[in-house]
């Protein structure tokens, strides 16, 4: 049957594909790079261009909807999730990869209604893989159904994380000691690929057993959360409690056992909240 948000989903897929074409082309060109909250928090003209395209097209089609988007937020827009239909957009996730031509770059479009995530679309634009998840309808990559890993033993886990933008000595100490704790617990490996959304898509695909991060934003998490849940996975807060999209922290895993083991191993890095900036 036709669901209430089918049209929105179709438009999101088309825009994620169009955005991917723009990013692929821009990848080979000269870029002007600026910094945001830290020397490692980058933005280019392409981030702005892609965000403007996605938001203006969606606004035309769905004038009553609301938007949370990475670069608008960086320019001072408030990040609040109301009950209205809300699009949560990262035009280029992996901007640092994009700048260096490291081929792990994505467009992420999530959609929530009544503060509940309805669908997510993530386009791995350098590999032309389209990840989608719709509440109650499963998760797919280029039409193939996704299924998370069933691993429950941390000593058999491949774990993904991202560094986050803060690079002061105290933050780095906690970041590295968290990684050390997982390696002491004999995790098979820890990977940092430079894109939160794509790391989360790998988790949804069963290509890794867990993911955790401090310092990611709601636009890194919204679309991927639907995809992981629809692939059978767990997305929670680093405290072990329920996910809070605005809390700038997350643990995700194929199984609840694994998610809890990771959460218990971590010391917190405080990044504040997206809705209090």
The single residue among 126, 196, 205, 255 that binds ligand IPD, judged by CB under 6 A, is: 196
Is residue 231 within 8 A of residue 133, CB to CB? The reply is yes
Q: Does 90 bind ligand IPD (CB under 6 A)?
A: yes
The single residue among 122, 210, 216, 258 that binds ligand IPD, judged by CB under 6 A, is: 216
Q: Does 95 bind ligand IPD (CB under 6 A)?
A: yes
Rounded Cα distance between 150 and 96, Å, is 32
- DSSP 3-state of 221: helix
Q: Does 93 bind ligand IPD (CB under 6 A)?
A: yes
Determine the residue with CB nearest ligand IPD.
162
220 is in an annotated binding site: yes
- C-beta of 175: minimal distance to ligand IPD in Å? 11
41 is in an annotated binding site: no
Rounded Cα distance between 93 and 128, Å, is 15
Q: Does 70 bind ligand IPD (CB under 6 A)?
A: yes
Quick check: is 95 catalytic? yes
- The DSSP element (H or E) to which 129 belongs, if any, is strand 129-134
70 is in an annotated binding site: yes
93 is in an annotated binding site: yes
Nearest to 122, CA basis, from 146, 149, 155:
146
Rounded Cα distance between 157 and 57, Å, is 41
Q: Which tokens go with 75?
A: 């320019």
With contacts defined by CB under 6 A, name the span among 15-23, 135-143, 162-170, 204-212 that binds ligand IPD. Answer: 162-170
List the beta bridge partners of residue 124: 106, 129
Rounded Cα distance between 185 and 244, Å, is 27
List active site positions.
70, 90, 92-93, 95, 220
Binding site for ligand IPD (CB under 6 A): 70, 90, 92-95, 162-164, 194-196, 215-217, 220
The binding site for Mg(2+) comprises 70, 90, 92-93, 220
């Amino acid at each position: 049957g036709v669901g209430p948000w089918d049209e929105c989903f179709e438009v999101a897929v088309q825009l994620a594909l169009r955005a991917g074409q723009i990013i692929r082309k821009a990848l080979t060109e000269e870029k002007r790079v600026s910094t945001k909250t830290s020397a490692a928090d980058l933005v280019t003209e392409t981030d702005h261009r892609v965000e403007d395209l996605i938001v203006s097209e969606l606004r035309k089609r769905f004038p009553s909807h609301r938007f949370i988007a990475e670069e608008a937020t960086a320019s001072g827009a408030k990040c609040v999730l109301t009950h209205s239909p809300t699009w949560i957009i990262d035009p280029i996730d992996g901007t640092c990869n994009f700048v260096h031509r490291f081929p792990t770059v994505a467009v992420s479009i999530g959609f929530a209604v009544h503060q509940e995530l309805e669908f997510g679309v993530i386009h791995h634009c350098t590999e032309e893989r389209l990840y989608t998840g719709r509440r109650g309808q499963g998760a797919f990559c280029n039409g193939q159904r996704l299924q998370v890993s069933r691993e429950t033993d941390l000593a058999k886990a491949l774990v993904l994380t991202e560094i986050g933008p803060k690079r002061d000595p105290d933050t780095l100490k906690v970041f590295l000691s968290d990684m050390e704790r997982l390696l002491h617990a004999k995790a098979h490996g820890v990977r940092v690929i430079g894109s939160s959304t794509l790391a989360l898509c790998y988790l949804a695909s069963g290509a890794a057993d867990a993911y955790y991060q401090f310092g990611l934003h709601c636009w890194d998490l919204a679309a991927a959360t639907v995809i992981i849940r629809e692939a059978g996975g767990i997305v929670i807060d680093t405290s072990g409690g329920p996910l809070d999209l605005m809390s700038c922290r997350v643990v995700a895993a194929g199984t609840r056992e694994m998610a809890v083991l990771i959460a218990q191993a971590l010391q917190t890095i405080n990044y504040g909240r997206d809705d209090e900036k």
